[in-house]
Structure 1
Amino acid sequence: MKEIVEVVNNIVWSYALIGLCLAAGVYFSVRTRFLQVTYLKEMFKLLFKGESSEKGVSSFQAFAIAISGRVGTGNIAGVAMAIAMGGPGAVFWMWVIAFLGGASAFVESTLGQVFKEVNNGQYRGGPAYYIEKGLGVRWYAMLFAFATIISMTLLMPGVQSNSIALSVQNAFGVPVEYTGLIITFFLALIIIGGVKRISKVAEVVVPFMAAAYILMALVIIGANIAEVPGVLMVIIKSAFNLEAAFSGVFGMAIAWGVKRGIYSNEAGQGTAPHAAAAAEVSHPAKQGLVQAFSVYVDTLFVCTATALMILFTGQYNVINPEGGFIVEHLPGVAVGPEYTQYAVATHFPDLGSGFVAVSLLFFAFTTIMAYYYIAETNLSYLNRLQDRPWSLWALRIMILGATFYGTIKTAKVAWMLGDIGVGLMAWLNVIAILLLRKPAMKTFEDYRRQLKAGKDPVFKAKEAGVDNADFWK
């Protein structure tokens, strides 16, 4: 089983996918005139604009749902794994994919809004919707929807629950089975409440957990402020094979930086458009900009905070691809959240492990909530033509079962299954948004033109030259 999973993972996550994600980010950055920088002020302003309605959630609630999906295990255990497999240079490539991915995130989330529709009184949208309406290829849309349901309910929840269970066991000695039962029970209570309950929980929990974690990181960074230039130099030199100690993992730095960057910030993966489509806005580009900002929050803030804590304190190992270790500061410690727990414990011996465990509990739990919302949205897409009431309960049972199972299986298998899920979605979605570049750019130009004229942009599909955007007629 483990060998089969590893082979499939290596096929899905070949250098072709890494190159595709980087190329798409460069292309959309150039086409949007690097909106990641030029529209940064507008992103922040839009974050708190707009109200929720009976059919949709507010911009901030959609942002919170997306962030709850982006900010998860990848920000704590994922960063540790990137450093372990690719050395400090992997952090730089996480930054690169976040910067370029901001443009990809804008495009996919804007398309999610452009081609959204109302199903059962709620806004629904995402790659399956824009693939069918924008490209007119229903089989491709159904393939994405099916792949997403499998990824969100069976392949990816285990990574989150596994990291929760391991960190809680390391901090408090609680058996992983008990942790699995508890988080599965509370997850069931929330997902049965639907998207409104998910958005309400995410709106409260996400800002609190991110702020607390970043505050702790700032305290540790402040205590090591004199070392900042040196650590940044090691990251940059390692990224370009200029640091002799890590020259053996140069290629791995790029691969693992991009891989863990996408896993963490989800730019181009096709997850954020589902939350983006649920927002009540007057123009699709507004939610596109908000979702682009969420990539920054995830990687440039939370992931960087984790990386600096680990590197400042030296609480990490770097694995030699040929066997053994290039660096071994933590003998006998497996790759995962323990790196971050040891890093925080260096400065706060009585608090470190417990604080990271609680942070990871919030991060990962809200991520599983977001996974359920995404899976439900794709199920709604598949059920548009034929109502299947039993399928919703099947979906819930699948994600609850995978969440519990993830707590008792090995971390390596959990991560490989999660990587397969991310990779499958990324392949299907990045190709789709490249094919849909014309309606995406027309929508962006329409927004830019109205903004330049001093207007609060309002989208009218016909005037913008976008076809099949039925909601915006």
Structure 2
Amino acid sequence: MALAYIIIAFVIILLNIGEVPRIVGMILGDAFTPMAGFGAAIGWGVKRGVYSNEAGQGTGPHAAAAANVDHPAQQGLVQSFSIYIDTLLVCSATAFMILITGAYNVHGPESTFLVQNLAETVGANGPAFTQLAIESTMPGVGKLFIAFALFFFAFTTILAYYYIAETNIAYIRRTFKVNGLMFLLKLVLITSVFYGTVKAANLAWAMGDVGVGLMAWLNIVGILIIFFIAKPAIVALKDYEKQQKEGVEEYTFNPVALGIKNADYWEGRYERKTGKKSEAVKKGDSVSAQTQTS
């Protein structure tokens, strides 16, 4: 779906190729104004960017933890690359389609408009701008294509967030044995989906902003604490890069040798893979040399 979306965007850009220099100039010019720094960049860019790539929210590890890789840094690099796919390509494709066709309004204070290219009834918190942008270039395509795109994007989002929530419930139940939590989760999710289909998007965005804000702040505090105490991600990345330079045929990961605690899964995986117990190496020994021996 993302690929089809990007292709449509490229077609619209090619059909309006003469407008590209002006649009790029507009984006760069507006991005470095004081108002962008204090208003749009923080108020809209950061919030919607976080929705797009989920960086710092703490939701990425749920799916990443289910991946089967030889070294955790491999999946970490994949997760980092996905940010560019989501934000740099998909979000930029949307921006170029809307700006290049002029299918947007810029809302000012007290229900005024700084720029009004569309009717005042067209809401900004929805797909209308993108639909009208595609429709203006490809008549008869815009509404249908965005409807299908939204269906697939929404469907995969619902699946992803349900998987995240179910994983959280399963983790909570390891400590608190409460029956019926999974059923309650399904009921809440189905109710939320139904409610979202019959109500305006403003409430959903507002609730999402509050929820994501709380989640991100808690997660970022945790990341900073762990980063300054142990730096496990940096240590794992350096170990992966070291093995890369040494040209190993199969990567291994020994968390104990790297001083990374509580990585029970990786300790067990290392022992099963190498046939030896995961142990810390002495100072001066080669970590990768030990992880390659069995």
TM-score by length of 2: 0.85
Give 1:350-365 correspondences, 5 Å limit.
350-365=140-155
SS of 1:268's equivalent? Answer: coil
SS of 1:229's equivalent? Answer: helix
* Equivalent-residue separation in structure 2 for 1:372 and 1:402 (angstroms): 12
Give 1:77-226 correspondences, 5 Å limit.
209-226=1-18
Shift in Å, 1:414: 1.3
Give 1:444-455 correspondences, 5 Å limit.
444-455=237-248
- 2:233 counterpart letter in structure 1: A
Select which of 18, 22, 32 maps to 1:230.
22
The reply on whether 1:273 has 2:82 as its aligned counterpart is no
Select which of 240, 246, 260 maps to 2:32.
240
- 1:404 counterpart letter in structure 2: F
Shift in Å, 1:286: 0.7
Give 1:412-451 correspondences, 5 Å limit.
412-437=202-227, 438-451=231-244
The reply on whether 1:408 has 2:195 as its aligned counterpart is no
* Equivalent-residue separation in structure 2 for 1:250 and 1:428 (angstroms): 24
Residues 310-366 of structure 1, C-alpha deviation per residue, up to 9 Å, x if partnerless?
000000001113540100101221112000000000111111111011101111111
The reply on whether 1:260 has 2:54 as its aligned counterpart is no
Select which of 122, 132, 139 maps to 1:333.
122
* Equivalent-residue separation in structure 1 for 2:82 and 2:36 (angstroms): 30
Structure 2 unaligned runs (5+)?
A: 268-294
The reply on whether 1:472 has 2:266 as its aligned counterpart is yes
* Equivalent-residue separation in structure 2 for 1:249 and 1:212 (angstroms): 31
The reply on whether 1:463 has 2:251 as its aligned counterpart is no
Shift in Å, 1:294: 0.9
SS of 2:134's equivalent? Answer: helix
Shift in Å, 1:230: 1.3
SS of 2:109's equivalent? Answer: coil
Asked if structure 2 preserves the Cα contact closer than 8 Å seen for 1:285 and 1:443, the reply is yes
* Equivalent-residue separation in structure 2 for 1:386 and 1:427 (angstroms): 25
Asked if structure 2 preserves the Cα contact closer than 8 Å seen for 1:249 and 1:321, the reply is no
Higher relative contact order (CA closer than 8 Å, sequence separation 6+):
1
Asked if structure 2 preserves the Cα contact closer than 8 Å seen for 1:318 and 1:327, the reply is yes
State the partner residue of 1:18: none
The reply on whether 1:385 has 2:175 as its aligned counterpart is yes
* Equivalent-residue separation in structure 1 for 2:109 and 2:155 (angstroms): 32
Q: How many residues align?
A: 260
CA RMSD of superposed structures (Å): 1.4
The reply on whether 1:291 has 2:83 as its aligned counterpart is no
Asked if structure 2 preserves the Cα contact closer than 8 Å seen for 1:317 and 1:330, the reply is yes
Shift in Å, 1:409: 2.0
Residues 123-167 of structure 1, C-alpha deviation per residue, up to 9 Å, x if partnerless?
xxxxxxxxxxxxxxxxxxxxxxxxxxxxxxxxxxxxxxxxxxxxx
Asked if structure 2 preserves the Cα contact closer than 8 Å seen for 1:318 and 1:326, the reply is yes
Taking a change above 3 Å as real, the CA distance of residues 249 and 279 of structure 1, as seen in their structure-2 partners, is closer
| Bigger radius of gyration among the two | 2
SS of 1:461's equivalent? Answer: coil
* Equivalent-residue separation in structure 2 for 1:441 and 1:316 (angstroms): 43
State the partner residue of 1:178: none
Asked if structure 2 preserves the Cα contact closer than 8 Å seen for 1:248 and 1:320, the reply is no
TM-score by length of 1: 0.53
State the partner residue of 1:375: 165
Shift in Å, 1:266: 0.6
Asked if structure 2 preserves the Cα contact closer than 8 Å seen for 1:214 and 1:302, the reply is yes
- 2:147 counterpart letter in structure 1: A
- 1:264 counterpart letter in structure 2: S
Asked if structure 2 preserves the Cα contact closer than 8 Å seen for 1:261 and 1:299, the reply is yes
SS of 1:396's equivalent? Answer: helix
SS of 2:58's equivalent? Answer: coil
- 1:257 counterpart letter in structure 2: G
Taking a change above 3 Å as real, the CA distance of residues 221 and 384 of structure 1, as seen in their structure-2 partners, is same
Shift in Å, 1:250: 5.2
SS of 2:180's equivalent? Answer: helix
Taking a change above 3 Å as real, the CA distance of residues 434 and 250 of structure 1, as seen in their structure-2 partners, is closer
State the partner residue of 1:348: 138
* Equivalent-residue separation in structure 2 for 1:386 and 1:320 (angstroms): 49
Percent identity between matched residues is: 53
- 2:204 counterpart letter in structure 1: A
Residues 169-212 of structure 1, C-alpha deviation per residue, up to 9 Å, x if partnerless?
xxxxxxxxxxxxxxxxxxxxxxxxxxxxxxxxxxxxxxxx1111
SS of 1:463's equivalent? Answer: coil
